[in-house]
């Protein structure tokens, strides 16, 4: 059984502020160690649960946060960008089960550090009229490759939002949100123990439930943070302006939709 562990940082125990997620300050240096520890807990849990191979995807920011030498050597590591499958890179290698570690609430949600892909550019994202966060988008991308999200960790708001999409997954709550930049967290040690146990539980005797699949074509509607961003994005001839701060486009697959969204995210740097 081949397993992919996709690891973000905002849902990690002990992480509650933007400074902890951005390189160049001591708070980030501490937070990325916590991220690495939770990734290692998930890797260990995967092998406890019967995995024969584990890939761990560094899925935050520039995708090169976790020091490779500190990750469990039994796993292979997916690092760096750009890459077509982004937070789900590695799923194309015959993966059947996906674990999402350190994930967070969608943009405009009430969870800690809630956002979707790019907090500067994207206010809300809908796929086929379903409001989506990163976990939903990349869970659907996994499903397109035949893989199922079997475990996910993050705060209580993240879990509440995503349990309907992944009803058979094991969810591990690392903290309780009390605001955008505040919460009540497990200790790092307790969080790692819970993640390891949760992954093992999800994989033991694993009979993959049906993946979360969105049938194409996928109708994407994007609300931007400002009309100026919609002005910029609609330079793409295939994008339709539907409101001052909204645009829409059709994608033949979830993978194509993800690639377009990541291109728009990169474009947004022109207006920073």
What does the pLDDT look like over 206-235, one tens digit per residue? 666 789 999 889 999 999 999 999 999 999
Shared domain for 175 and 70, answered yes or no, is yes
On whether both 99 and 227 belong to a single domain, the answer is: no
Same domain, 78 and 105: yes
The bridge status of strand 182-185 relative to strand 130-131 is unpaired
Residue where the block lists tokens 């009390």: 178
Tell whether 238 is covered by a domain: yes
**In the chain, how many domains are there?**
2
Run of H or E including 191: helix 188-203
Query: Are residues 53 and 160 located together in one domain of the fold?
Result: yes
Rounded to whole angstroms, the Cα distance separating 3 from 49 reads 10
Per the omega criterion (within 30 degrees of 0), is the bond before 6 cis?
no
Residue 209 located in a structural domain: no
C-alpha to C-alpha distance for 226 and 216, rounded to whole angstroms? 29
Residue 81 lies inside a defined structural domain of this protein: yes
151 with 62, same domain: the answer is yes
DSSP 8-state assignment for residue 215 = P
Reported as a single tens digit per residue, the pLDDT across 108-141 is: 999 999 999 999 999 999 999 999 999 999 999 9
CB atoms within 10 A of CB 102: 28
- The residue count of the chain comes to 272
pTM assigned to the model? 0.95
Please say if the pLDDT value at position 185 is more than 90: yes
The domain in which residue 191 lies consists of: 2-122+130-203
């Amino acid at each position: 059984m081949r397993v992919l562990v996709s690891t973000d940082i905002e849902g990690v125990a002990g992480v509650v502020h933007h400074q902890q997620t951005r390189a160049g300050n001591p708070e980030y240096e501490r937070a990325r160690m916590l991220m690495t520890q939770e990734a290692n807990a998930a890797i260990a849990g995967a092998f406890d649960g019967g995995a024969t191979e584990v890939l761990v995807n560094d899925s935050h920011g520039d995708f090169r946060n976790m020091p490779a030498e500190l990750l469990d050597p039994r796993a292979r590591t997916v690092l760096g960008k750009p890459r077509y499958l982004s937070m789900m890179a590695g799923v194309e290698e015959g993966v059947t089960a996906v674990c999402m570690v350190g994930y967070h609430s969608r943009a405009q949600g009430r969870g800690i550090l809630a956002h979707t892909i790019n907090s500067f550019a994207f206010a809300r994202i809908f796929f086929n009229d379903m409001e989506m966060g990163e976990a939903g988008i990349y869970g659907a991308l996994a499903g397109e490759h035949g893989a199922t999200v079997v475990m996910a960790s993050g705060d209580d708001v993240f879990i509440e939002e995503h349990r309907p999409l992944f009803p058979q997954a094991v969810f591990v709550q690392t903290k309780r949100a009390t605001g955008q930049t505040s919460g009540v967290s497990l200790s790092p040690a307790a969080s790692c123990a819970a993640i390891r146990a949760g992954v093992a539980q999800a994989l033991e005797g694993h009979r993959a439930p049906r993946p979360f699949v969105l049938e194409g074509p996928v109708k994407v509607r994007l609300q931007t943070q400002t009309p100026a961003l919609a002005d910029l994005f609609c330079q793409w001839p295939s994008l339709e302006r539907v409101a001052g701060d909204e645009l829409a486009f059709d994608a033949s697959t979830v993978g194509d939709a993800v690639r377009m969204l990541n291109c728009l995210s990169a474009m947004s740097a022109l207006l920073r």
